[in-house]
Amino acid sequence: MLALNKKILYIMMVLCLCPCVAKAQNLHSSSPEAEDSVLLENIRQLRGKLISAQDSTTYISQLETLYEHDPYNETYFAWILEFYDHPKQRHKLEDFVDDQLEDQPNSTMPWILKAEIAMHAKRWEEAAEAYKTACNIDPYSLPIIYNVGLSLSNQAIDIQRAILNKERALKKEDQQKIKQTFIEAEEYLEKAKAMDPKRKKVNWVTPLYIVYFALGETEKARELEPLVTGFKNTNQERID
């Protein structure tokens, strides 16, 4: 997985998730564009020179003001995320994303960011649910579809690993939950495969192979083996 800030920037720049819309009007200011120009110049001067705590407070305050005036501006959004990805500020990132979800619940971007944060922390179920919400908003986004499948696959593996680490056998209900999660992952990953058969945008081969292997779909798994790096070393158990 890419570092969180790089992945986020990739999402914004490559997927172009932000629609092009007119700038939000500020009804409480007689010349918002002039004020924003001043703020933008201050921010550019501060970028990379945040020495004191006051510098950081001034920078993020002015940057968030700009973003409030222009909530679809990818550059402002990327700068905010870059700021919050700093180790001293990272704990505030989830609060920022939650605020964005309240303001823009029908936008894919905050849901993708929520999912990315969850993936970074290996909270796979949370990641899968956030990606599913984004997928409902944009059902034709290949990276979103792929990441739903990837998150579900990892969720199933984690459930299985957690049970086996307790050194007890899988109960019937455990097996059923894991199997259903793998089946759901298969649905999304096969859709990604159909959309991108040559893997130019997403590499669906390994996660789909693991899903096939876990579900006991040996013929499908065997077809992918030549494409999977190190497939002989997989430790994933079948779910019968």
Predicted pLDDT of residue 230:
55
Q: Tell me the C-alpha distance between 41 and 148, whole Å.
A: 40
Spatial separation of the C-alpha atoms in residues 131 and 144, rounded to whole Å: 6
Integer Cα distance of 199 and 231 in angstroms: 18
Q: Which amino acid is at 2?
A: L
**How confident is the model at residue 28, as a pLDDT?**
33
Chain Cα centroid distance, residue 240: 31
Q: Which CATH class is domain 112-240?
A: mainly alpha
Q: Report domain extents, the chain.
A: 26-106, 112-240
pLDDT, tens only, 135-194: 999 999 999 999 999 999 999 999 988 888 887 777 888 889 999 999 999 999 999 999
State the pLDDT at residue 219: 95
CA distances (Å), origin 52, targets 55, 64, 96, 101: 5, 19, 22, 30
pLDDT of residue 33: 57
- Cut 0.85: pTM above it: no
pLDDT of residue 100: 82
For 4-134, list the strands marked E by DSSP.
none
Q: Provide the 10 A C-beta neighbour count for residue 93.
A: 22
Q: Determine the distance from the C-alpha atom of residue 234 to the mean position of all C-alpha atoms in its chain, rounded to a whole number.
A: 25
pLDDT tens, N- to C-terminus, the chain (240 residues) = 333 444 443 333 333 333 322 222 232 333 445 567 777 877 777 776 766 778 778 878 888 787 777 766 778 777 887 787 777 776 777 888 888 888 888 988 889 889 988 998 899 999 999 999 999 999 999 999 999 999 999 999 999 888 888 877 778 888 899 999 999 999 999 999 999 999 999 999 999 999 999 999 999 999 999 888 655 544 455 555
Q: What angle do CA 138, 142, 146 make, to 5 degrees?
A: 110
Collapsed DSSP state (helix, strand, coil) of residue 65: helix
